[in-house]
Amino acid sequence: MEREVRVRFAPSPTGPLHIGGVRTALYNYLLARKTGGKMILRIEDTDQTRFVPGAEDYIRESLEWSGIELDESPWNGGPYAPYRQSERKPMYMQYALQLIESGHAYYAFDTAEELDEMRERLKAAKVATPQYNAITRATMKNSLTLPEDEVKQRLESGEPYVIRLKVPRKEEVRLKDMIRGWVMVHSSAIDDKVLMKSDGMPTYHLANIVDDHLMKITHVIRGEEWLPSAPLHVLLYRYLGWEDTMPEFAHLPLLLKPDGNGKLSKRDGDKLGFPVFPLRWQDPNTGEVSSGYRESGYLPEAFTNFLAFLGWNPGTQQELFSMDELIEEFSVERIGKSGTRFDIQKARWFNEQYLRAKPDSELANYLLKALKEHNITTSHEKAEKIAGLMKERVSFPQDFWQEAKYFFIAPTEYSERVASKKWNSQSVAVFEDFKNELATLEDFNADTVKDLLNSILERHNMKLGQVMQALRLAVTGAEAGPDLMHIIEVIGREETASRIETAIDKLSPYAAA
């Protein structure tokens, strides 16, 4: 009988959640939903020295905004609670002691100074990677080198100690990764990792293995940076007697800088002007503020669609996927092995597509919100018309105001470049007639306005292309934009006539030139 698929996302509350972490959570979520399984979130807070206030709430809000739903978590509970490792602290020691009793772990009493001395000795001996391992452990202060009664006395006296995994000296550790195939590492490359720290807290290595086993996790999808630790985790599963139920592993490719050289970092975002966090974050210690995709105007569905394609592809030409479609098409086998270059222009493109797909009535709300902030009132019907005209020209919700403010505020400045080339006495003569005759139109709309302008141009023996850019300048102050006749329809005849009259007055030196 096949086990129910159970995946987990296990972030540490040490700061804001990087978008690479959101991508990891997304892939886990897609697999869970695709297979009818469960999505678990576990907070891995064993390193209390790095805990950052507000980070856990940030993780929760980021996932909610991204549309990633959790079946079990610290916030909505579940059958394997608690879901914070710090609250599970009492259960880990028994497994560390089990490893000691079976001969797969040992007590180590070395001080920080003694560990530093050991590393310096190894460096002096030209050892490339100084490690506490099968060779060096023999020269250190641990339960493998000390007499049994001395070990007992040190433990009873409360002397600080750690528990280390006893890694075999000559053994090949094999792991089948769902993305990379077989991974083989010689045990000589694995050091005797600390499993329990002197403060009684487990390290990540022990805690995550114990928790994944107890929570019946079937698949571990995580970042490539954990691949070097995977053989160690295989040993732990084996030594604890859980190898038969060990989860399948998939190590995701790195998110690379835009130039492809190295892992994407916050510094890259700061330097190149894009966010690397899903939401805005203010560091509680320094007060430093980092931008977020939500606050920058990205829609959550565009953000998750963009993230899904950073390492995975559906094998077709389709790029726009709803969450349900992503779930339907997702498979771990279609995740690439190599790092994925981050392209903020592609993220922007996704956002544009999702904005354009929204109904004008919904887009109007973005504009109405901005108008309210500027103490401007208008009808929802007018806002809807403007949104419909502008949606092909915007990338973010806030662009509706930036691009469409001339619908509400008459221009006071004009492009000298356009005026010097396009504003002349012939066009002014057309504009004089046009502003005067707008009042004669019984049915005022884009079509009748265009017909009127064409008839006036015919009288003046001129063509539309000779005056359009200058007329746009007079009405909007902009050099480009959506169909001008539709703009005039929305602005209205009186306001259009007033703006043309103002432009004729202010740009008169160009007409006289």
Which residues lie below 8 Å from residue 303, measured CB to CB, with a gap of 6+?
Answer: 66, 278, 293, 294, 347, 350, 351
> What backbone phi and psi angles, to 5 degrees, belong to 221?
-105, 115
| Strand (E) or helix (H) holding 341 | strand 340-341
CB atoms within 10 A of CB 312: 24
Residue 91 per-residue DSSP state: G
| Six-digit token string for 360 | 């004008």
> What backbone phi and psi angles, to 5 degrees, belong to 219?
-140, 130
Q: What share of the chain is helix, strand, coil (3-state, %, to 5)?
A: 50, 10, 40
Exposure b/e, 99-125, CB count within 10 A at least 16 = b: bbeeebbbbbbbeeeeeeebeeebeee
| Six-digit token string for 300 | 């959550």
Is 89 annotated as belonging to a binding site? no
Q: Which of 34, 266, 358, 506 is catalytic?
A: 266
C-alpha span between 307 and 264 (Å, rounded) = 14
Residue among 487, 483, 492, 493 at smallest CA distance from 438? 493
Respond yes or no: is residue 193 known to be catalytic.
no
Beta carbons of 165 and 235 less than 8 angstroms apart: yes
Most distant CA pair in the chain, distance: 113
Residue among 87, 84, 102, 368 at smallest CA distance from 242? 102
Q: Residue 69: beta bridge partners?
A: none
Distance of CA 317 to the CA centre of its chain: 23
Q: What are the DSSP calls for 44-58, one per residue?
A: ----GGG--TTHHHH
> What backbone phi and psi angles, to 5 degrees, belong to 307?
-60, -40
Which residues lie below 8 Å from residue 305, measured CB to CB, with a gap of 6+?
Answer: 319, 320, 321, 326, 350, 354
| Strand (E) or helix (H) holding 363 | helix 360-373
> What backbone phi and psi angles, to 5 degrees, belong to 354?
-70, -35
Binding-site members for ATP are: 266
Catalytically active residues are: 266
